[in-house]
Each structure stands twice: as structure tokens, then as C-alpha cells.
Amino acid sequence: MTAGGKAAPAAQGMTKEERKVIFASSLGTVFEWYDFYLYGSLAAIIGKQFFLGDPTTSFIFALLTFAAGFIVRPFGALVFGRLGDMIGRKYTFLVTILIMGGSTFIVGLLPGYATIGIAAPIILVSLRILQGLALGGEYGGAATYVAEHAPEGKRGAFTAWIQTTATMGLFLSLLVILATRTAVGETEFAAWGWRIPFLVSVALLGVSVWIRLSMNESPAFAKMKAEGKTSKAPLSEAFLNWKNAKIVILALVGLTMGQAVVWYTGQFYALFFLTQTLKIDGPTANILTAIALLLATPFFIFFGSLSDKIGRKWIILGGCVIAAATYFPIFKAITHYGNPALEQAIATAPVTVVADPATCHFQVDPTGTKKFPSSCDIATRMLTNASVNYTTVPAPAGSVAQVKVGDKVLQSFNATMTPDNIDFDKDSKAREAALKKEVAGTLKAAGYPEKADPARVNKPMVVLLLFILVLYVTMVYGPIAAMLVEMFPTRIRYSSMSLPYHIGNGWFGGLLPTISFALVAANGNIYYGLWYPIIIALITVVIGAIFVRETKDNNIYAAD
């Protein structure tokens, strides 16, 4: 940590020009997050356009493609962090926005699987990787840039504006999606209208480039460069020197890992839960989420400012603890108010799959074409696609799976494969269709809704619950930028803080929707995916409480 050196004198406030530059940095980051979140918000539709397979498989692989952008973010942090520490913050900004905006625009033009076959998902994944690399270089630069402009004692408040940009980017993407859906209608939106939000991003790109060109270099970096104190090998200094590498590891495990899963649970998993599990229509889910985001966004500034007074560490860890303790009751309450018919059906007509455990598999296929022919797999796949909560009861070895809906018992079957072993034969397809129809009819008779009834969605209560989830996000995310900046010296700050942030958010956070929904598909319990963020958040609390030091009074002006 930067403990040595003489602290810079406290500034009386930001000049008009400095405020303009910081606003420009924040606004450009809003646009960049808008580009990135379009894909996440439209994952279900994009999955059908670019991937083969049943709805569960295509959705999971759409989420994996979304996650691909997060997986490569640490590599973007390394590349652009090195450039930012060597040549400056300003020009790195310009490169990242050009890559992000260009990739997003091309997604809007990309033909689907039906048109160009396997090339479609390959190109889509490649574009997501480019977006992830660009975003990996964006955040560290933005947070560092703002913090190095901030007056002493106000770093939490000033960097909190950067923290609002991710939420505002998501909010903007939801508004554009909603406006497009309303203008073209749901049928046309699913067919081609989803491309419009990607295409209009070219206008945002133009504005962002203009903003980035008007920015000045960070005073702290400019001073260090003038004195010849910039690092010649920032990556080696940041990660091969144990004194600094140890802090990088603690920043990841004791801060950003838990912050990330709380962040993505509140702002992405909750949205997917509304649409995929509770079957609330997309426009309604987007509106409810957007309202919650709008109401909660000022609390980023509140908790950032509070951290300037009482410290950053315990606000972040406190948010992780509260989130982990309340996720299950909150999501069950969202079900209660969002789709009460589903809640009632689960209580009055529980679904059980009685099957030989050896015949039940984790049904994810990278090609999107593999079939799972066992009677257990056929039964559980149908229930998962219908977002039905079920439990599995072991049956004797070799027995054929049964589905029990209340007192009704349905018999599954073992399918026969075609000679090439990639699909069910004609008779098995017919039996599968008949069973699917029987299962759907039985579920409907038992009260399981195909979709949430809009008239029964308690919108104020759903918004309140979503607001609480986003409030947790503001607790863990509002102070994190200032804390990460304060943990590392100026000469390697961009590189050092970017890597743990993007491993935490890119891997532990970005993979959350995929991992959580895969856990639900494998287990049958619609709430089972919450164990992932709960466990990760609690690990961060333990490590952070014991090993991470408070940073709010650290000197950030020392080069070493």
C-alpha cells in the first residue's frame, strides 16, 4: 500500500475545468456500459437467434457468450493497464471506447445462425471478447483518473460518480430496449427489432469519442511523467513483486470477489429471474428493474461520501453480509409478489421426479445439438424449460423415471437414438412431443402458469424488493473504486487495481448468471442458484475482515 511519502495538501475543491473533465469521463463510461449491457439484457432473444438446442441450452449458451466478455476482462486490464501506466490515462480511454462501440455496432448487423450457420455464434463470441478486452481497460482508467483529480478527503464521493455509470448504462440500455419494443411490437422485436439498440450505439460512440478527445491528462500522472518517474515495466512491478502482488490478491479475494456477486445478483440475476423463472413479460420486467435502478442510483454517491467519513472497508463487507443473509427471503418474496400463481402451485402441487440417480445428468452441451436420452433427463429438461420447481427422489437402479405433480403420476421414457447418435429417432420424437403435451396439461391443471398474469403482478412490491437488491449493490460498489485506488502507488496504479477488479467482476460476477441458472437446471429448485453468490460473498467477508486494511487515509500521490 502507499504508506510512504509526503501527502499532498488538501484541495479546497474542484475547478470548473476539472469537474467538466470528470463529468466527461463518467459520461463516456455510461455509454461504454450501455454497449456492454445490451447483450446481457437481450440474452434470451439472442440465444434463439444464434444458438441451436432447446430453450434451456440456448439460453445457457447465450449467457456463456455474455460471460465470455467478462472472462477476457482481466486480459484487457493487463494490456490497457500497462498502456495507461506507461503513456497515460487519456489516450487509453480513446482506444477502449472505439473498440467497444465498433464491436457493439457490428453485433447489430450480424446475421443469425439460420443465415450463416456456425459462423454466426463464432463471430458473436469474437465480438463479445473484443468488448470484454475494451471494458477491461476502461474501469481502472476511469477510477484512477477521477481519484487523481479528487480533493483530499473526497475521493469516495468523487469516484462514486464513476460507480453510478455502470447502473446508468444498464438503465439507459433498458430504456432504449423498452422504447424499441414499444415502437415495433414484441413479435417484430424478437425477429429483428432487437438489433436497433445495438445499431443506435454508433451515435453514442460519436459523442463518447468527442468527449474523450476533450479530456486532459491526469495531473498526478502528468507530474510523475514530467519528473521521469513512470514505470518502464508496470506489469512486472505490479504482479511479480510480492509486496504489491500480495495486495492484489487481497483486493480480489477480500473485496472485489464478494462485491461482484452482490452486484450481478442485484442487477442481472434479478432481471433474469423475473423473465426466465417467473415468466414476467420482458417490457414489464425491464420497467420494474429500471425504476428500481433509478431510485437506488443516488445511494452510490451516499455510500461513497459516507466512506470518506467512516471508512470504506466495513461498508463494503457489511453489504456482502446483509446480502448473503437476505437473498433467499427476498427472492421468495419476489416470487410471491411477481407470480403468486406459481408460488401457490409450488405449495399445493409440488413436483417430484422419481428416477435412478445414475440416469440424471448435467445437461449442457457446447454444440447445442447433443441429446440426452435417459428418462430422467427427458423429464427434468421439460420441467426446467417450464421453470417448474421440482425435487428428485432416488429410484431403484434401471427404473424408468416418473414425474409426480401433486397426486398425478406421469411416466417418462428412455429415448432411442438415430444411427449417427445425435438425435432421437422418429418414434422417440413422437413420444417426447406427446409427453411434453401431457406434462404441460398436467401442470396447467395443477395451477402452474405458462406466464405471469400481468394483473396479479404487485408492481410496487416487486420494485421495492428490486430496490433493496440494488441498495446492496450501492453499498458494496459505491466505495470500491476509491479503496482500490488507495491500495496502490501512482506509477503502477492503473495495472494493479484493474486486474483484481476485473477478475472479481469479470469471472466471479460475469459467470454468475450462467453458473446460477445451470445450478437451478441441475438441482430443480428455482432458488438453488442463490447459493453461488451467498458463498462467494461470505468468503470475501471472512478474508476482508481479517486481512484487508482500511485505506481512506492513505496517501495516493506517492509514486512508490
Q: Which CATH number fits domain 16-339+454-547: 3.40.1710.10, 1.20.1250.20, 3.40.50.2300, 1.10.600.10?
A: 1.20.1250.20
pLDDT of residue 2: 39
Please check whether the two domains, 16-339+454-547 and 344-445, share a CATH topology: no
Give the predicted TM-score (pTM) of the model: 0.81
List the chain domain ranges: 16-339+454-547, 344-445
Q: Please, where are the H alpha helices in 447-559?
A: 459-477, 480-486, 493-503, 512-523, 531-547
pLDDT of residue 217: 62
CB atoms within 10 A of CB 507: 19
Mean pLDDT value across residues 101-130? 87
Average pLDDT, the chain: 84
pLDDT of residue 90: 66
Given its phi and psi angles, is residue 554 left (phi above 0), alpha (psi -120 to 50 degrees) or beta? beta
Flag the least confident range among 10-24, 151-165, 241-255, 400-414. Answer: 10-24
Residue in the structure block whose three cell numbers are 467538466? 20
pLDDT of residue 232: 61
**Per-residue confidence band for 40, with pLDDT thresholds at 50, 70 and 90:** confident
Q: Which CATH number fits domain 344-445: 3.40.1350, 3.30.1490, 2.40.160, 3.40.30?
A: 3.40.30
428 and 373 Cβ atoms separated by less than 8 Å: yes
**Torsion sign across C-alpha atoms 171, 174, 180, 185:** negative
pLDDT of residue 219: 60
Is residue 12's pLDDT more than 60? no
The sheet with strand 390-394 has its strands ordered as 390-394, 351-355, 402-405, 408-411
Is residue 118's pLDDT more than 90? no
165 and 159 Cβ atoms separated by less than 8 Å: no
Residue in the structure block whose three cell numbers are 434451456? 56
- Residue 162 to residue 22: CA distance in whole angstroms: 9
Alpha carbon separation from 455 to 47, 337, 340, 452, 467 (Å, rounded): 29, 11, 11, 9, 21
Mean pLDDT value across residues 198-203? 88
pLDDT of residue 147: 80
pLDDT of residue 5: 39
